[in-house]
Chain A
Amino acid sequence: MAWGEFKDTAAERRLFQRRALVMLLFVVLLMTGLLARMYQLQVVEHDVYNTLSDKNRVQVQSVPPPRGLVYDRNGELMAENRPVFSLTIVPERAAPIDETLARLGGIIEIAEEDLERFRKRLNEPRRPFQEIPLFYDLGEADIATMAVHRHEFPGVEVTAELVRYYPHSDLTAHALGFVGRINREELNRIDPVNYAGTNYIGKSGIERFYEEVLHGRVGYQHVETNARGRILRVLERENPVPGADLELHLDLRLQRKAHELLEGRRGAVVAIEPATGGILALASVPGFDANKFVTGISVADYRALSESNDKPLFNRALRGQYPPASTIKPMMAVAALDSGVTTRDRKIWDPGYFQLREGGRRYRDWKRSGHGWVDLKHAMAQSCDVYFYDVAADMGVDIMHQYLSAFGFGEDATLDVSGALNGLLPSDGWKRAMRNQPWYPGDSVNMGIGQGFFLATPLQLATATALIANRGEWVEPRLLKDIRGERSAADFLPAETHTPLILKDPENWEYVVDTMEEVMHGARGTARRAASGASYRMAGKTGTAQVFSLGKDQEYDAEEIKERLRDHALFVGFAPADDPKIAVAIIVENGGGGSSVAAPVARGLFDAWLEEFPAAEASQMLGQVAPNGSEH
């Protein structure tokens, strides 16, 4: 050959043949190795990988139960669930992510804090193709925008979840409370299985108290998903048990009436049906829109609410602790009669002030000239302070404490009202413990007209008033009327703990009610104007609580000082007097006089409850019965 060296072609051929044989063996060996590996994976370990494949493909997902709805006593919806749309991104499909975010920011507004949270979650370990929420509660305009631009944003999705909605939130926020996103502390408390898939939990009010009932039982579904987590089909499903729907004693109409009557003021109304203890109205004015809190309130909105001078977030009905002032006199009258320090006929001389001893400090009556000779009935009708100074001094703190405790002061006597405060029912022991001072007789005198240390919430005043309306029969206030479905309210309401307040002479109940009727209907009753022209008899008591002076370094503008220094106007009462259907407690902060401001509010509520609503129902019934024949 041309290569210049001697080549033994036959030897080279044989050499190559040998080498080729070696290579063939090499190939056979390695291919057998590959097949052995396949045999190992596909036959020996088949079960293991088959399980893995199924686990990949089939996922067990929790199906959150829809939260129970809340209705008022007439079936009016007060808390429902509505779909809320959030924007989620699958980073793998939306790459490059920064460019996607920038372009998204170009068509819809994304808050800086949402971006920050998103980036944080982006850097956390997660499954490939897992979606990350960018922000919650897209507005309709944004949903429309995203629908138009969807093809430009692969990996960006709008997803829906059911979120609490309160259609009448301004009226019901304080009565119902609200739900919000589960926080870290709550996460430790809840059952992780039952709350898998649930994002919201009751934060306050009914939503918190009946959380367990409203939440329901989580369901499961076995779904076939692809690697992106998209559900392709449902293989098996165990439906969730939806939360139970609650029906409350609350009447939305009365609630609305209360808000209308207190329009432009700050105050609270609590109305109770004495026979059932059902809370018909629980209004704290001004209210607020609890819907903002559900998906997370903005900092600016929260600041506006929390820094407002009207304190809309403050639940005055449950947590406002006020001196009850003269509204305590009916309970004091019961105590004085039953303890024997006074009788129906006993009269005392009111010179316009009261002295514990000759030459001592003068406790003034609101009427400087005095009421002259007054018995208990007159003392109630005209709200004579001196009479009650006298009986309070005679009773002393221990007896007053005993009776007022029986009326539910100084405790949360409700069954299912979450967050109610205890007020302050002072006692000798309390004063020694808290003030390190003995109880002076003068303290008793102040307590007799609901001033001094004594503090009560509107809810407590309404409770005590309902007890008088019930003539001592205790029915603890409650919101829950019924649970729709098979279960009953009794299964979930806590046990009643109070025993009836039995008087030595039960007739004294009627007598005290008479004196309260005198307040409304008597010729000199303090609330006679509010009761004039009524077709039914009502019992009540007005009150005017002094407001403590402001601290010297607090700054208010002059107009406001004048308004904020005015007395609180209070009223308690029930109607009709002989067959009470409704008992109320009303406070109007800085309203002035109880008789002129608070009593007319009560009259409005009584009229609505006893006349307006039944009349409206009757006419509606007539209208419905005629065409439909029957209405169940």
Chain B
Amino acid sequence: MGLGNDLLGAKTDAGLGRSRSIWDVLHLDPILLFLIVTLVGGGLFVLYSGADRNIDVVKAQGIRLAVAFGVMLVFAQLDPAVFRRWSPWLYALGLAGLVAVLLVGVGAKGAQRWLAIPGLPRFQPSELMKLVVPMMAAWYLSRYFLPPTLGRVMVGLFIVLLPMFLIVQQPDLGTSLLVGAAGIFVVFFAGMSWKLIAAFFGAVSVSAPLMWFFVMREYQKQRVLTLLDPQSDPLGAGWNIIQSKTAIGSGGMDGKGWLQGTQSHLEFLPESHTDFIVAVLAEEFGFVGMMLLMAVYFLIILRCLYIAVSAQDSYARLLAGALTMTFFIYIFVNVGMVSGLLPVVGVPLPLISYGGTSGVTLMAAFGVLMSIHTHRRMITA
């Protein structure tokens, strides 16, 4: 418990003999809640600018976030034991959904991502898998002693790779990456040996060329090529990267000021209110703004890791740790892609980019974390 206590304090720990606070009743973690509200509130301001002062976009996003908040609240009420019990069934349901998407899914632009079941709202099973895959991996690995044996690590990896493979087929590289990350972090937290990790990275570096030639679609290859040399196609695929780097770089130390970003407001920056919104923030609030954003994200991660560390059983720990790291992967991949470090994959900036689905999943994950933190029983030593 040495980690985090000194940094963030443990004043919300619900101990026996202390009167139950309002937070205990609501099963919410006030520190995490405060950080999320700060992030979301600031994000709406950036969104207003990124959407070129379209207040309707901000309102729609506000409604989505409110729904997501509701989802978080519901998840927070459930006992982690419930998640654990449901894990295999949800996983099976998720796999069935992914297969169904490939068979009868709907979508656009050459990708099938949605499942339209009459009577239900359209949804993406792959989005669900961001939660379910770490749950399943945590369920499986936490049944046995940790660290897991080699065989169980392999089973755990299989649990992760199967849905990843199905999602890549849609094709949806970004989501598959996040689902995979979520699952693999579970295996890592469970104690997968460092030798295996080294071997895993070795295998990845070998399989990358194979992926290039046999798995990756043409548009994905194009994205990678464009990343390596955006100038090679300045009017086509490279346009996005050149414009977003220009937006970020021209922001300078203090930025151009809120609503003053020329790159975004003059429509040079594509996707300025969705995947590329961080470029708007960087352009208008400069390096100072980026440091603030990163600080808020870092505090959220820190708090979540603290929640994970202080969780009471392995299932909860593994799940909380993996969800936290998935949240970080969102941030890293999005900012890395917008700043030209990583290829352009469709990963939004968590809780700031416009768009509903990922927001709901993220808030659900925070709900799980809060559930884990607020359902601890002071029974073990």
A residues at B contact (CB < 8 Å): 3, 5-9, 11-13, 15-17, 19-21, 23-24, 27-28, 30-31, 33-35, 37-39, 41-43, 45-46, 48-50, 52-54, 56-57, 125-128, 224-228, 232
Contacts and interface: CB of A to CB of B under 8 A. Distances in A.
Interface in B293-350: 294, 297-298, 301-302, 305, 308-309, 313-314, 317-318, 321, 324-325, 328, 331-332, 335-336, 339, 341
B262 interface: yes
Contacts of B144: 3, 5, 7
A16 B309 contact: yes
Contacts of A37: 336, 339, 341
A30 B332 CA distance: 7
Given A23-B305, A128-B235, A226 B250 contact: no
B334 to A, nearest CB: 10
B380 interface: yes
Contacts of A39: 287
8 contacts: A17-B3, A20-B305, A30-B332, A31-B332, A33-B341, A49-B248, A57-B266, A226-B268
Given A56-B268, A127-B235, A226-B267, A15 B339 contact: no
A128 B245 contact: no
B3 A21 contact: yes
Given A23-B325, A27-B298, A38 B246 contact: no
B239 A42 contact: no
Interface in B247-271: 247-253, 262-263, 265-268
B146 interface: yes
Interface string B194-237: 00000000000000000000000000000000000000000100
A46 B250 contact: yes
- What range describes how many residues of B lie at the interface? 35 or more
A128 B239 contact: yes
A42 B287 contact: yes
A337 B10 CA distance: 130
Contacts of B247: 49, 53
Nearest to A9: B380
Contacts, number: 161
A385 B294 CA distance: 108
Contacts of A34: 294, 331-332, 335-336, 339, 341
Interface in B272-298: 282, 286-287, 290-291, 294, 297-298
Nearest to B146: A12
A74 B358 CA distance: 77
Nearest to A48: B249
A226 B261 CA distance: 12
A94 B4 CA distance: 56
B76 to A, nearest CB: 22
Contacts of A228: 267
A227 to B, nearest CB: 4
Given A5-B144, A125-B235, A16 B314 contact: yes
Nearest to A55: B246
Contacts of A13: 317
A31 B298 contact: yes
Interface string B168-191: 000000000000000001001101
A45 B189 contact: no
Across the A-B interface, the 3 shortest Cβ-Cβ residue pairs: A49-B249, A53-B250, A226-B266
Contacts of B314: 7, 9, 12, 16
Nearest to A57: B262
Nearest to A37: B339
A186 B366 CA distance: 70
A232 B249 contact: no
Given A16-B189, A27-B301, A128-B235, A43 B287 contact: yes
A31 B336 CA distance: 10
B339 A38 contact: yes
A356 B297 CA distance: 117
A21 B253 CA distance: 32
B321 A19 contact: yes
Contacts of A224: 262, 266
Contacts of B380: 9
Interface string B140-151: 001111110000
Given A23-B321, A31-B298, A50 B267 contact: no
A54 B266 CA distance: 11
A53 B267 contact: no
A8 B145 contact: yes
Given A24-B302, A27-B298, A35 B291 contact: yes
A427 B348 CA distance: 90
Nearest to A51: B250
Contact of A46 (B145, B146, B252, B265): B252
Contacts of B262: 53, 56-57, 224
A19 B266 contact: no
A43 B325 contact: no
Contacts of B298: 27-28, 31
B294 A15 contact: no
A35 B290 contact: yes
Centre residue among A17, A30, A38 by max chain B CB count within 10 A:
A38
Contacts of A15: 146-147, 191
Nearest to A6: B145
Nearest to B290: A38
Contact of B266 (A9, A12, A43, A225): A225
Nearest to B267: A227
A53 B339 contact: no
A29 to B, nearest CB: 10
Nearest to B250: A53
B267 A41 contact: no
Contacts of B147: 15
Interface in B11-51: none
A128 B253 CA distance: 30
